[in-house]
Amino acid sequence: MVDRWERRYRALTIGVDLTAIVLAVVAGNALGLGREVPQFGNVAPGVGILAGLLMVVAMIVCRAWDPRILGHGSDEFGRLIKAVVTSAVSLGMLGLAFQATAARPWVFGLMPMAGLLSVLGRLALRKWLHRLRRGGRCVHPAIVVGGDEAVTEMIDRTRRDTARGWRVVGVCTPTGHAPDGGDEILGVPVLGDLDAVGDVVHQHAVRVVAVCPAPGWTSRRLHQLAWDIEDINAELVVDPGLMEVAGPRLHVDPVDGLPLLRLTRPTFSGVAWVAKQIVDRLGALLLLVFLSPVLLAVAVGVKLDGGPVFFTQTRVGRHGSEFRMLKFRSMVPDAEARLPELAHANEGAGPMFKIRDDPRVTRFGAFLRRYSLDELPQLFNVLAGSMSLVGPRPPLPSEVEAYSPAAQRRLLVRPGLTGLWQISGRSDLSWEQAVRLDLRYVENWNLALDALILWKTVGAVLNSRGAY
């Protein structure tokens, strides 16, 4: 059974889409667009109403209002865009069949405008939903099944990713107990062993059953669990136990009816890669022009604070090439010389050096770091081609010397002004978490992921979590 808040959220989404369509239809008719059809003469407001009906039908056919995809993931917007394109093409084909140019302003202007309004409305709804979930509302109770380590990691991830809306209410482990023999893992009760999963799911009326790798967990058990929960409204999700690879690199390749996951190698060339370079250079140029008043004001503030305006430091870029990264100075001028005396206070994990209350940071520098304003000059690095708008964190040469073979893969792409590390906690992340996020980006890079990271960076900067 769908929860009350889900029905309300779906109704709000439908309302946003219908409002966008109505606004487009009203605007088109108010402007006098799409009136003449050769066979029927002046048909206003017929073309607009037809365009609106086609969009509604396309959204139903493309399942753009499916509750399972609303509020999270890119599939929601993918289906919405598919519905807009399908309806526009349909109207265009009708216009071609009747030799009616009246369809053109709708196909190329008003219907895309309705789609854009729908996207903006859904983004606003999603932000509202995520805010409620951070407060513990509008969430799905979940059961996690798997080995002790996998279960612990899944609980930790769901707590960090509050936007996903899962609240783990219980776990099932191979032994039916916590690793220390207790009855809780990270405060979550252990409700049984692997044989008790079906009964536990029914008893606790959960909405999500997350299955992680575990000794003794076979495909037969997974099939049985899927059959056991068919009669309740629970979603079964499975961690494949593989590396964190998704998107276009994963393909289902059956062999004699057995579905296998085929993993293709990551590509850093081709049309998409060229498009990324163009977006980087053009985006950096536009941002520099748009933010020039901010850059000037910050430069004046840093200068009044005493010392040089800019701080340059050698960082390592793609394929290990070194470059000089540019930042606004946020520390005292002799910060590098004072580094050895602060080694004992290092809070950073791995090769990173971090101090939450670094005494070298100036008062104005603390403000700059809080809102990442000190990093704005890196747009010049992006413009020069040594960095990208989105990518892994730019490392120091000393950090690269300590890299493991896995961490070396971060150097397959240009470092970024922002990245998964920026939107996931920044300095609050451990070294292992930072490496995992950077590797996830490298392994799954695509333009859609870049766009999502850029969008979420705005919220991360304003929130300023992990910025010090």
Report H helices in 98-139: 104-105, 111-134
Q: What is the full per-residue pLDDT of the chain (468 aa) written as tens digits? A: 567 898 999 999 999 999 999 999 999 888 887 666 666 666 678 788 899 999 999 999 999 999 888 988 778 888 999 999 999 999 989 888 877 777 888 889 999 999 999 999 999 999 999 999 988 899 999 999 988 888 998 898 888 888 888 899 999 998 888 888 888 899 999 998 888 888 888 888 888 888 888 887 877 888 888 888 877 878 888 887 655 666 666 666 666 566 666 666 777 878 888 989 999 999 999 999 999 999 999 999 998 887 889 999 999 999 999 999 999 998 887 777 777 766 666 655 556 666 666 778 888 888 888 888 999 999 999 999 999 999 998 988 988 888 888 888 889 999 999 988 888 766 667 777 788 888 888 888 888 788 888 888 887 777 766 554
Kindly write down the DSSP assignment for every residue of 388-402, as one continuous string: EEESS----HHHHHT
Length of the chain: 468
Backbone torsions φ then ψ of 33, nearest 5 degrees: -90, 145
- Give pTM, 2 decimals: 0.69
Report H helices in 3-45: 4-30
CA dist., res. 112 & res. 202, Å (int): 45
